[in-house]
Amino acid sequence: MPVATLSPLDVHQQTSLTIVEQLRHAHYLAKDRRLNDQLSSRIFEKYLAMLDGGKAYFTQEDVAALEKYRYELDDALRHGKLEPAFDIFNNFQSRLVNRLEFLLAELNRGLESLDFEAHEALAIDREHAPWPANDAGLDVYWRKRLKAAVLSMVLNGKELEEIQTLLTKRYKNRLRQAKQTKSEDAFQLYVNAFASTYDPHTQYFSPRTSRNFNINMSLSLEGIGAVLRSEDEYTSVVELVPAGPADKSGRLSPSDRIISVGQGAGPLIDVVGWPLDDVVELIRGPKGTEVRLEIIPKGAEGGTSRVIAITRNRVQLEEQAAQKKVLTFDHGGETQKIGVIEIPTFYVDFKAVQQGDPNAKSTTRDVRRLISELKSEDVDGLVIDLRNNGGGSLTEAETLTGLFIKSGPTVLVKSADRRRAIYSDNDNKSAWDGPLAVMVNRLSASASEIFAGAIQDYERGIIIGSQTFGKGTVQTLIPLNRGQLKVTAGKFYRVSGQSTQHQGIIPDIEFPEVYDVERIGESSLDGAMQWDKIDPTTYPRSRQIRPLLAELQARHDERSADDPDFRYLRALALRSKENNGRTHLSLNEAERRKEKADDDAWRLQVENTLRSAKGQPALESIEALDDEARDTDEDPNKDAMLRETGTILLDYMSLSSQVATAKLSGTTLSTVAVN
């Protein structure tokens, strides 16, 4: 069956005109995004990148032929004409089918002729590579890509006959899917290329995608609790829903890639090249059933895959609720207790609030109650743990801040019309006025950054961890006749006037970065809005933390230098950075086996060094390591970063006490800091 030539439907014209109009009026950057030749060129580049970001299908000749549309897309959009966009899409579809047929022909010739002793390599990231000059250049690239796919399976223990069968099935499925592509698919892709020229969070959802989005937002369908996206031909994990099945399992991480999905004990179905919606539907299923995922772990470019099993469940609001625990320390010869409140997300039961329920569940209400309980347990200090908290209700971030200050502004919001709104806490009381620390990491975003930024600006507490995600924009959903439009309609700012956009929150005391900052965070998104600042508002600062930060940092550095857990974390961070710097994948079997053996030996050595320091027996093999993956959620004492945060807070309490005593006796701060 030949690939069909797609044409826009009548409804697409009206929908595109509506989207153009909505973006002109509702988007924060509307005044900076005039529909002109300059924007047309950007749309053209974005569209090609979304179709063929890896420079794997189009040739230089193809792109040269499509250049006629570079400065026509603005006029076409203004009049609802989608023919240029569909012509580009049809050209891509033709190229996609051509490449899949090429791969099937290569497979049909057999795999025995592949030379895994040759010293060849495949470029991992081709975003900035030139387009292949012609079909011959594409053939060279795709032979290498096929060889890489075969070699990865060989390294996973598969025989050539099995590999040939599996890859033939994979590419036939992709060919079938390509030939079943509908006009709606082309329309959504093009409109999102246009929308993304505003910013990466502005997005059009077709009716089908809109249904999936609403399901994810309401958590009303059972699944594994993971946010996924398509990257090249893979389905990649973006983030895990706090307290969801995947999060609780500890087996799936952001940047992992899913290559196969199986139901229970059934066979694994290869999903490489599948549309994202189809992969999502395969992963979803009834509560209590098991789904098996074959994944390529983050950083393992071309490396061995592994299969994990996750039991599907529905994420309940109660499971995402704030929780408390108490850590006990021997500090300065005294036994002291630090309360910890972990907040997975900023939640609120909107339905209960709308019904006027005075006990409606929310982050602020729950944290206030937990603080009261911790006070009754006589804790000396409090840690708010926002690690992996991707945000949620902006209002909850604002009201939560009010639990730790008596009164004052909490966040500034600037709308598309550039009006500035100041949100404030005005009740003149706080739930906790004692020593405070806030933990953050790269996955702390949006509402988490509002709260952490306010606490830092007020110098109300110490911010500890790693640089946060950097999402400082506000989105709104606009219903359309067909689907929905998610539009960035504002930016929020700290009370100091600084945006959290792009830059995030820089902790006062930084821990080793364990996430890939090149792939995770606002700064990794193409076209992300930049950091800026506005006039600050008036707010009271305690001015009690910054003078002590140098001494707190010195004490932390001294402790962590020889701490086994922090040595382990630094080793992982360095290894991850080295792996992320790789630009090519070897296609030589001996080299790849040596790479894997070296990597396995390194992992085992680092893990056993940590185990030895803790008095645990050494593991004999990498298989034993995979079977006994460390789970820091079992016991709060195992979480090295959390315990070090508690120790830093105790150091702060001790130094603050010395400063207070020094002021009474006339001693200088510098004298206190070195004692």
Q: Are residues 173 and 233 in the same domain?
A: no
pLDDT attached to residue 674: 34
Residue 612 has pLDDT above 60, yes or no: yes
Terminal-residue alpha carbon distance, the chain: 81
pLDDT band per the 50, 70, 90 thresholds, residue 305: confident
Selected residue with higher pLDDT from 310 and 243: 310
Selected residue with higher pLDDT from 320 and 612: 612
Q: Are residues 403 and 428 in the same domain?
A: yes
Q: Which residue has the tokens 């070090």?
A: 644
Residue 312 structure tokens: 């599907």
What one-character DSSP code corresponds to residue 28?
Answer: T
Using the Cα atoms of residue 661, residue 663, residue 667 and residue 672 in order, give the sign of their dihedral.
positive
Q: Are residues 383 and 452 in the same domain?
A: yes
- Strand 420-425 to strand 408-415: parallel, antiparallel, or no bridges (unpaired)? antiparallel
- Catalytic residue among 147, 414, 471, 491, which? 471
Closest alpha carbon to 552 in 617, 620, 647, 636: 647
- Catalytic residue among 256, 366, 457, 639, which? 457
pTM: 0.87
- Domain tally for the chain? 3
Residue 669 has pLDDT above 50, yes or no: no
Q: Measure the CA–CA gap between 549 and 342, rounded to whole angstroms.
A: 24
pLDDT attached to residue 331: 87
Over residues 440-459, the pLDDT tens digits come to 999 999 999 999 999 999 99
Q: Which range (9-23, 485-499, 512-526) has the least confidence?
A: 512-526
Q: What's 295's domain CATH number?
A: 2.30.42.10
Q: Are residues 187 and 229 in the same domain?
A: no
User: Does 294 fall in a domain?
Assistant: yes
User: Does 167 fall in a domain?
Assistant: yes
* pLDDT above 90 as % of the chain: 66
pLDDT attached to residue 617: 92
Strand positions, DSSP E, 298-407: 306-311, 323-331, 334-342, 381-385
Over residues 334-348, the pLDDT tens digits come to 999 999 999 999 988
Residue 366 has pLDDT above 80, yes or no: yes
User: Does 665 fall in a domain?
Assistant: no
Residue 635 has pLDDT above 60, yes or no: no
Q: Are residues 115 and 226 in the same domain?
A: no
User: Does 137 fall in a domain?
Assistant: yes
Query: Among the three residues 546, 561, 576, which one is the final residue of a domain in this structure?
Result: 561
**Mean local confidence (pLDDT), 168-178:** 92
pLDDT band per the 50, 70, 90 thresholds, residue 306: confident
User: Does 482 fall in a domain?
Assistant: no
Element (H, E) at 651: helix 640-665
* pLDDT above 70 as % of the chain: 92
Q: Are residues 510 and 536 in the same domain?
A: yes
Expressed in percent and rounded to 5, the helix, strand and coil fractions of the chain are 45, 20, 40
Over residues 89-139, the pLDDT tens digits come to 999 999 999 999 999 999 999 999 999 999 999 998 888 899 999 999 999
Name, in order, each residue with C-beta under 8 angstroms of 169's C-beta and a sequence gap of 6 or more: 270
Closest alpha carbon to 253 in 464, 516, 574, 507: 516
Residue 631 has pLDDT above 50, yes or no: no
Q: Are residues 301 and 327 in the same domain?
A: no
Q: Are residues 299 and 350 in the same domain?
A: no
Q: Are residues 263 and 140 in the same domain?
A: no
Residue 673 has pLDDT above 60, yes or no: no
Query: Among the three residues 269, 284, 311, which one is the final residue of a domain in this structure?
Result: 311
Q: Are residues 431 and 507 in the same domain?
A: yes
Over residues 529-584, the pLDDT tens digits come to 999 999 999 999 888 899 999 999 999 999 999 999 999 999 988 888 888 778 89
Q: Measure the CA–CA gap between 133 and 213, rounded to whole angstroms.
A: 40
- The mean of the pLDDT values for the chain is 89
Whether residue 10 lies in the annotated active site? no
Q: Are residues 229 and 190 in the same domain?
A: no
pLDDT band per the 50, 70, 90 thresholds, residue 207: confident
pLDDT attached to residue 672: 42
Domain hosting residue 56, numbered range: 10-198
pLDDT band per the 50, 70, 90 thresholds, residue 623: confident
What one-character DSSP code corresponds to residue 223?
Answer: B
Residue 184 has pLDDT above 70, yes or no: yes
Residue 392 has pLDDT above 90, yes or no: no
User: Does 553 fall in a domain?
Assistant: yes
Q: What's 348's domain CATH number?
A: 3.90.226.10
Selected residue with higher pLDDT from 623 and 151: 151
User: Does 607 fall in a domain?
Assistant: no
Query: Among the three residues 198, 229, 256, which one is the final residue of a domain in this structure?
Result: 198
Cβ atoms of 314 and 532 within 8 Å: the answer is: no
Name, in order, each residue with C-beta under 8 angstroms of 604's C-beta and a sequence gap of 6 or more: 619, 621, 622, 625
User: Does 430 fall in a domain?
Assistant: yes
Q: Are residues 152 and 247 in the same domain?
A: no
- Catalytic residue among 16, 40, 196, 446, which? 446
Whether residue 446 lies in the annotated active site? yes
Selected residue with higher pLDDT from 126 and 196: 196
